Structure 1
Amino acid sequence: MPAESEPHERAWMAWPSASYTLGESASEAEEAWVAWAAVANAISEHEPISVLVDPSGRDQARRRLSSAVEQVDARLDDAWYRDIGPTFVVGADPSNQHRLGAVNWVFNGWGQQEWATWEHDARASGVATEHSGAVRIDSPMVNEGGGIHTDGLGTFLVTETVQLDPDRNPGWTKADVEAELVRTVGARKVIWLPRGLTRDSERFGTRGHVDIIATFTEPGRLLVHDQRDGSHPDVAVTAEVVDLLSRETDADGRPLEVVRLPAPKTLVDDAGWVDYSYVNHFVLNGAVVACSFDDPVDAEARDVIADAYPGRSIVTVDARALFARGGGVHCITQQQPAVPSPTSNPGGTP
C-alpha cells in the first residue's frame, strides 16, 4: 500500500443519501450536501475524482458537484467511502509489470452498530475495484480504510479497539490481524495504538479509527492529535498515544518523530465532547484538503500541516457538518494510487 502522499491516479468518494447522514430536516440535508460537495469539488481542481451516487441522490449530486467530477451509479447505504471502499495497493504481476490491486475488506457497519445499515455498503468496494480495473484481493477480515494508516514502506498504524473488536473479528489475535495485513497490504511492521478518541468510541463512532489520531507525513514522521485542554477526556488518550509513538520505530528501525497537531479549542457540541481533529485531512496531488472548524486554532493547525507537506497547497473546508455525522475529510475520501512505470520513482511527490 503506497503512502497517501504518493501520486494518485484519482480519488473516490460517495454521495450522502441515507437518512442518518442527511438528518431529519431539509436544513440538515442541505448541510450534508454542502459539506460533501465542498470536498469533492476541491479535489477535482487537483486530480480526477469519481463519486458513487445512489439513485435517490442523483438530482442533488448533479446540482452540486462540479462538471469535472465523474458520477458513478451505485446503490449505497451511506457515504463514508474511506471505510466502505477498497484499499488500493500496487504490486508486480508474473511478468514483473506494476499492477493496481484493490483489497476488499468485509464491512459490517463498524462492528454491527445497531443504528447502521450495510446491505449495499458491504458491496460498494466492488464498484471502485471494477471501475479502476484493479486486481481484486478479497480479505476475510472486517476492516475499514479509516482503521489503518501507512508510511508507504510497510509500517502501519492500527488500534486494538477496531481490528480486535469482537463485533468485527471475533476470536482474532494481533498475530492474525498482522498476518492478514502482511498478505493484503504489504505490512512489515504493525504499531498498535490502544484506543481511539473519546467521541469516536461512543454510540455513533467507529470505536477507534486511527485516522483522527495520527498519520504519517513521511517515513519516520507523524502528525499526532494533541488535546491541550485538561478538561477534555482526550487529554489522557492523546498523551498515551504520543508516549507510545515516541518510543517506537518504523519497519526499517527508524525512530519515529512525533509532531503534535493541536486540537481545536472547541470542546463540546450538542451531543457532548467533540472529536474534531485536524489529523483527518486528505493528501492529494499537489495539495492537502484539510479540516477547519471556525476555531481559533484553525490557522495554527493549517501552518503545521503546510510545514508537514512542503510544496503542496492547503485547501481548508468547514468540517463541522462532517464530524457531526461521525467523521471528517479523510473519512469520506479514498485514494487510487498511480501505478508507477518501470523507470518512475514511486515515492516521488507529484
Structure 2
Amino acid sequence: MTFRMPAEWAPHERTWMAWPGPNVTFPNDEELAESRAAWAAVARAVRGFEPVTMVVGPGQSDGARALLGPDIDLVERELDDAWMRDIGPTFVTDEEGRLAAVDWVFNGWGAQEWASWEHDAKIARHVADLAGVAVHSSPLVNEGGGIHVDGEGTVLLTDTVQLGPERNPGMTRQEVEAEIHARLGTTKAIWLPRGLTADYPPHGYGTLGHVDIVAAFAAPGVVVAHTQPDPAHPDHERCKANVALLRTQTDAKGRLLKVVEIPAPTVLTEGGADGDESGQWVDYSYINHYLCNGGVVLCAFGDPRDEEAAEIFRGLFPDRTVTLVDARTIFAGGGGIHCVTQQQPAVRG
C-alpha cells in the first residue's frame, strides 16, 4: 500500500501546534511571555481558516487558554520545546484516502548542545494517537522543516540536514532518498547544498539547514526561493547559487521548475547595526510561511518588504487570504511560522 505526503495547499482537517514552555530557547519569564504571545498570534491567524489543536505542557492549559481564546483545542503532553513542524508527525495518505503518520527519529536538530528532546522525540506518536491514525516509524533522523513536497512526487532537501554527520552518519544520498521516497511517496529529490547562515552555529538556535526557510513549492512546478539582495549579507551569494541551481531542475513530472524569487527583509542583523560585527546575521525569510484552508499565514518583520512579499503571495495564491503575522520573536527562537505549525490533511470519509 502506497502512502504519500499531500502538498501543503491540499485541504486540511486541522493544524497542530506546540505551546512554548520554560526551556533554554525561552530562558526567562519575559522572553517566554513574548514567545507565547507570538505563538498565540499564529494560532489565532490559522484558526481563522481551520481548526487548531495546541499541545501544551502539563499544568499550562489555563495560561494558554487565556491567550488563545475559547476556540482552539488544547491537549496536555510533556514537551521540551515548541516546534511542531519538527517534532510532530508528517501526515501521509493512501489511495483509499486513509491517513497515517510518519514518525521520524528526532534528536534535537542533530544533537545540538543546547537542545533537549526526551519528550519531543515522543510527540509525533502522541499526535498520531490523538488523531487516531497508524504510525509508520522511520529510522531516518529528520524533521518536518527539512522536507518540502509538491504532492506530485517531488521533494526538496538540503545536504547539511539529511546527509550531515549530526543526524545520519554513514548514510549515502541514495539511502536517504530511498527512505524519504518510501515514506513520502516521492520519486524525485532536489538537493540544495545548505541553508542560511544564521541557521548554523554560532548564530543561535539553528536547525543546520532546513529547506523550509530557503525554498518551498507554491504549486506543481513552481518554487518560491529566498533571495538576499544586499551583498553585505553572507546569504547574498548563497541565495544566488540556490536560485541558479533550482532553475536547472525538473520535477518528478519532468517540468522545468519556475522559480519565484522572494527578497529578504531589508534588515541584515540583530543586536547591532547592519553589517556591524557586534550584531548577529539574521535569516529573516518570507519562505517560512504556512498554507491553510483558504489562507496564507505569512511572516512579517515590521519591514518595508513585508507588503512586497504579501503581494507576491497574493499573486501566487489568488484564491487565498494573505495574513501577515509578526514573526521576529519566533525567529529569535530559531524558526518561523512554518516551523511552529503542522498540517493534518483532510481525507475522504
TM-score range, shorter chain: over 0.9
Q: State how far apart, in whole Å, the 2-side matches of 1:288 and 1:208 are.
A: 23
Correspondence for 1:212:
213
One-letter amino acid of the counterpart of residue 82, structure 1: R
Correspondence for 1:161:
160
One-letter amino acid of the counterpart of residue 104, structure 2: W
Q: 1:180-329 residue pairs with structure 2 within 5 A?
A: 180-203=179-202, 204-270=205-271, 271-329=279-337
Q: State how far apart, in whole Å, the 2-side matches of 1:41 and 1:30 are.
A: 16
Correspondence for 1:348:
none
8 Å contact from structure 2 (residues 22, 32) kept in 1: no
SS in 1 for 2:98: strand
Asked whether 1:16 is paired with 2:24, we answer no
Asked whether 1:129 is paired with 2:102, we answer no
8 Å contact from structure 1 (residues 17, 56) kept in 2: no
- How far apart are 1:57 and its partner, in Å? 2.6
Asked whether 1:172 is paired with 2:177, we answer no
| Structure 1: gaps (5+ residues) | 342-350
- What TM-score do the two structures reach when normalised by structure 2? 0.94
**Higher mean displacement: 131-140 or 141-150:** 131-140
Correspondence for 1:346:
none
Correspondence for 1:38:
41
Correspondence for 2:275:
none
Q: State how far apart, in whole Å, the 2-side matches of 1:86 and 1:173 are.
A: 24
RMSD between superposed Cα atoms in Å: 1.0
Q: State how far apart, in whole Å, the 2-side matches of 1:29 and 1:130 are.
A: 28
One-letter amino acid of the counterpart of residue 129, structure 2: E
The match for 1:54 among 50, 54, 57 is 57
Q: State how far apart, in whole Å, the 1-side matches of 2:159 and 2:152 are.
A: 22
- What TM-score do the two structures reach when normalised by structure 1? 0.94
- How far apart are 1:59 and its partner, in Å? 3.0
Q: 1:72-111 residue pairs with structure 2 within 5 A?
A: 72-92=75-95, 97-111=96-110
**Higher mean displacement: 200-209 or 81-90:** 200-209
SS in 2 for 1:79: coil
SS in 1 for 2:9: coil
One-letter amino acid of the counterpart of residue 322, structure 2: I
8 Å contact from structure 2 (residues 23, 80) kept in 1: no
- How far apart are 1:18 and its partner, in Å? 3.0
SS in 1 for 2:110: helix
SS in 1 for 2:60: helix
8 Å contact from structure 2 (residues 87, 124) kept in 1: yes
- How far apart are 1:22 and its partner, in Å? 2.3
Q: State how far apart, in whole Å, the 2-side matches of 1:175 and 1:56 are.
A: 45
User: 1:27-61 CA deviation, whole Å, 9 max, x = no partner?
Assistant: 21221011000001111121011110001532321
8 Å contact from structure 2 (residues 102, 183) kept in 1: yes
Q: State how far apart, in whole Å, the 1-side matches of 2:65 and 2:182 are.
A: 40
Correspondence for 1:344:
none
8 Å contact from structure 1 (residues 83, 145) kept in 2: yes
- How far apart are 1:310 and its partner, in Å? 1.3
Q: State how far apart, in whole Å, the 1-side matches of 2:234 and 2:310 are.
A: 24
8 Å contact from structure 1 (residues 16, 57) kept in 2: no
Q: State how far apart, in whole Å, the 1-side matches of 2:111 and 2:26 are.
A: 21
- How far apart are 1:294 and its partner, in Å? 0.3
Correspondence for 1:68:
71
Please list every run of at least 4 consecutive aligned residues from structure 1 whose deviation after the TM superposition is greater than 6 angstroms.
none
Q: State how far apart, in whole Å, the 2-side matches of 1:8 and 1:176 are.
A: 31
User: 1:144-199 CA deviation, whole Å, 9 max, x = no partner?
Assistant: 00000000111000000000111111101110111001111101100010000000
Correspondence for 1:347:
none
User: 1:267-305 CA deviation, whole Å, 9 max, x = no partner?
Assistant: 000251000000000000000110000011111011011
SS in 2 for 1:55: coil
SS in 2 for 1:303: helix
Correspondence for 2:150:
151
Q: State how far apart, in whole Å, the 2-side matches of 1:129 and 1:29 are.
A: 27
